[in-house]
Amino acid sequence: MDPERRKALNIEIHYAIAQFLYWAAACCLQGFTAVFLSSRGMSDGMVGIAVSMTSVAAIFLQLFVSNFCDRHPEIPLKKITVAVSVISFVFVSVLHFTRPSIALIALLFMLADAPQKTNNGLLNAVMVQYVNVGLPVNYGWPRGIGSLGWAGGALIFGRLIAIYSPELLLSLFLGIEVLAIIAMLTMPSVAVVRRSKAGKGTTSYGEMLKSNKALALFLLSLIIMGIGQAPLGTFLNRMIESVGGGTREMGVAILIQSGMELPIMFMSGMLLHYLSPGALLCVSFTAYSLKSVAFMCCRSLAGIYATMFTGLFCYGIYGFAGVLYANDIVQADQKVRAQSLSSLCFTGGIGGVVGNAIGGVLMDRFGLRFIYWFSLVLSLIAVSLMVLSLRALKEKQAAAALESAAE
């Protein structure tokens, strides 16, 4: 093995560990959000509002942090990621060791989970920085290990809280987050290389979107898709209960869905030989639409489990294709912000804000079947927007090629 590939493999292994621990910790807070908040006395509507508040906070935090990262490339991303993790750790500790009112629970959960959501985009940018300086690293399989962290965590956590209490989730998070911080701190640094390769980010968010139609359409498609998909994730426990299952079965369902993401992410290199990241995103978004249809047809726990296998083509593809597409369609001084923008537009950001707020109300008034139709319609709109984004990118590339030929 040549030295450069050995260096790349070392980075991939470190990154895989960091991804595994990050998603296992995230599963504690986000995979069982409704279960935990309900155990503290919240109704479905209140859960939807609390999750939406969290997503709003995550949006503003991601915008601030990602802009700071692009403007200060001399500061290693891993250190900024660790600082954000520490914030989450502190507020989870407060939530764990106190029994406040419902309003304060919602506030503390928001302050704890918003930084955790923010780190999703930052963690993607950490790996992309190695790609952008020319190291032959593979993003796909380490990200797949992250899905394994969520999947394994969902199975184990689901069984543990069924035996003990949802309160155990907070203890688990604190322990895993410590390990995640250590894993990030030991990631090989590229700070010196970045200083020689990257310039200061001076383009505003508004200028980024105004001058880049492909980016704007991509982010809009993520928002629409996020609005449709967020209620399906937040109220998965209600879907499981509707067919006679409980917390343990919910853990199994999440395990299946996340476990299906692993093999497709391991195949990312091969898939990218045949299809571009944008084309793969069109496939992923179509799979999300089919997932909504499949949920409509579920009449048993086995049906729910079978539907979870669509994770192979949903987030399984989006998990790596979305990161690469966002990286490819922006300039060098916009890379970190592009990752954060794509992260905050999906279910963990704007899409989650609107989707969970609306989803909680729709659940209370109309029930699950209306949620499925709601998700399907929005998913189909998102597919159309993604196709338009890909077309805009091709037009931009064609125009650039003609301009280059003319010179």
Looking at the structure of the chain, the number of domains it has is 1
Minimum mean pLDDT range among 14-28, 288-302, 326-340: 326-340
CATH number at residue 85: 1.20.1250.20
The per-residue pLDDT for range 361-373, each reduced to its tens digit, is 888 888 888 999 9
pLDDT of 140 over the 60 cut: yes
Q: How many CA atoms does the CB half-sphere of 275 hold within 13 Å?
A: 15
pLDDT of 389 over the 70 cut: yes
* pLDDT, average across residues 222-231: 93
Minimum mean pLDDT range among 82-86, 167-171, 355-359: 355-359
* pLDDT, average across residues 390-405: 84
Range of the domain at 397: 3-406
d(C-alpha 263, C-alpha 360), whole Å: 33
End-to-end CA distance of the chain: 42
How does residue 198 score in pLDDT terms, banded at 50, 70 and 90?
very low
Minimum mean pLDDT range among 114-118, 204-208, 222-226, 344-348: 344-348
Residue 363 structure tokens: 């659940």
Residue 334 structure tokens: 């916009």
The per-residue pLDDT for range 44-96, each reduced to its tens digit, is 778 878 877 887 888 889 889 988 888 888 888 899 999 999 999 999 999 99
